[in-house]
Structure 1
Amino acid sequence: MAEITGDQRVQSEVLEGLATAVNHRRWFVELAIPYLGDNPIEIGSGLGDYVLEWAPHVPRFTATEADPDRLVALKDRLSGESNVEVRQMLLPQPEPERGDYSAAVSYNVLEHIVDHVGALRAMRDLVRPGGAVVLIVPAFQFALGPADIATGHVRRYTKKTMRAALTEAGLTVERLHYANALGLIGYYMATNVFRLMPKEGPMVKVYDSLVLPVTKAAEQLVRPPFGQSVFAVARVPGTPEG
């Protein structure tokens, strides 16, 4: 089984707090939509916020969660979504699973997994040839601080280290860039200098409502040389059927 570190209670509190960052979530939702295809699977769906945004865009969607308590809550929250299946999944799996999903999307999960290349290989195996693995991970190791440790982050990434992991997993990198440049500065100050947790509060609300829209607009014109996150799209080798 995968080695995932961190306090599940703290992780849940952070997920609940960040659920209020609506503009941030919608930005990252939009990044993945062009790559989802007709039958995507999300690895680590958490509370289901992204599922609810993505599901209307596809005929079928599979949500997954490793933590048993969050899995129960996820199933309850998504019970009314007729095109969504919910299943338990922890990567990398003891036995490889071959799937026919059009894409595997995983946001802010890979940094929790010690064997991250093994997890990427498992995502690759779940996706049909030509399909996409779509990721967002936290950026820059210097920003690793108490909040990261408490929520179970074992690493942060650069474009270089993300490319290396994807390539080692047998995937072909198609798109790779930083996102949310001002967010990195704010995150570092809040969590490393002031020792705060990234939870719901005035700082999150002000950033999400005032700063985030400007940052998003600017980054649609010019890709920044740094960011709070790395966004990656990689393809499963092979020719799509049909």
Structure 2
Amino acid sequence: MAEITGDQRVQSEVLEGLATAVNHRRWFVELAIPYLGDNPIEIGSGLGDYALEWAPHFRQFTATEADPERLVQLKERLADEPNIEVRQMLLPHSERGDYSAAVSYNVLEHIEDHVGALRSMRDLVRPGGAIVLIVPAFQFAMSPADIATGHVRRYTKKTMHAALTEAGLTVEKLHYANALGLIGYFMATSVFRLMPKEGPMVKIYDTLVLPVTKAAEQVVRPPFGQSVFAVARVPA
């Protein structure tokens, strides 16, 4: 099994900082909900911010984490949520499941064998179910912050499509998201060498810039973005 790479402490600090970007998270939560069915599993739940947003929409929700220390924190935070099961999971693996969907946000870019990881997600989901992903976009935006948090790649629609197809999945939806976020992220992390942590820049972006970006992208899909959003189906 391949563990997520990178400095777990730095990853946790970034997760804690980005937890304050509430509008950004809720936008990405909304993107996934139509595809998750009745019993989804999240791969790489981190500190549980997305799990807490998704869980009220479903009868049963499973949150997972690879890092043992973060898993303890996740279990403590979600202990009072009766419809959330928390378990450890590393990718790739040989487990089979019958979940309605697997959702994984900003995880695949940490895993060397990303096609093997996608096959593992596929095997957890019943035929016809969905794999829903968000990954960081464009290799030119690979920054010291990416490397410090364990990113081994960034994606385009083309490379994401290729990985999903190689994993035996049928691509249903694939588009860029958060165009202005890519510009801001590149300037902050590559030009000014900052880490994406909690602070006034994150709050200003989330409060003022993000709502405008979301509204615009609901009308017109941008040709670039900070993230790639993908939905693929497990063949029947």
TM-score (normalizing by structure 2): 0.99
Hey, what does 2:10 align to over in structure 1? 10
Q: How does 1:24-173 map to 2 (within 5 A)?
A: 24-93=24-93, 96-173=94-171
Q: Is 1:206 paired with 2:204?
A: yes
Counterpart of 1:126, as a letter, is: L
Structure 2: stretches of 5+ with no match in the other structure: none
Hey, what does 1:181 align to over in structure 2? 179
State the Cα distance separating 1:3 from its structure 2 match: 4.4
Counterpart of 2:158, as a letter, is: K
State the Cα distance separating 1:4 from its structure 2 match: 2.5
SS in 1 for 2:207: helix
Counterpart of 1:50, as a letter, is: Y
Counterpart of 2:115, as a letter, is: V
Structure 1: stretches of 5+ with no match in the other structure: none
TM-score (normalizing by structure 1): 0.97
Q: Aligned equivalents of 2:171 and 2:26: distance in 1?
A: 24
Q: Aligned equivalents of 2:206 and 2:85: distance in 1?
A: 30
Query: Does structure 2 conserve the Cα–Cα contact (< 8 Å) formed by 1:3 and 1:115?
Result: no
Alignment coverage as a number of residue pairs: 236
Q: Aligned equivalents of 1:186 and 1:201: distance in 2?
A: 14
Q: Aligned equivalents of 1:51 and 1:226: distance in 2?
A: 27
State the Cα distance separating 1:200 from its structure 2 match: 0.3
Query: Does structure 2 conserve the Cα–Cα contact (< 8 Å) formed by 1:117 and 1:168?
Result: yes
SS in 2 for 1:29: helix
State the Cα distance separating 1:5 from its structure 2 match: 1.7
Query: Does structure 1 conserve the Cα–Cα contact (< 8 Å) formed by 2:4 and 2:66?
Result: no
Hey, what does 1:226 align to over in structure 2? 224
Note the aligned Cα RMSD (angstroms). 0.5
Query: Does structure 1 conserve the Cα–Cα contact (< 8 Å) formed by 2:37 and 2:101?
Result: yes
Counterpart of 2:16, as a letter, is: E
Name the stretch that deviates more: 1-10 or 178-187.
1-10
Query: How high is the sequence identity, in percent, across the aligned residues?
Result: 89
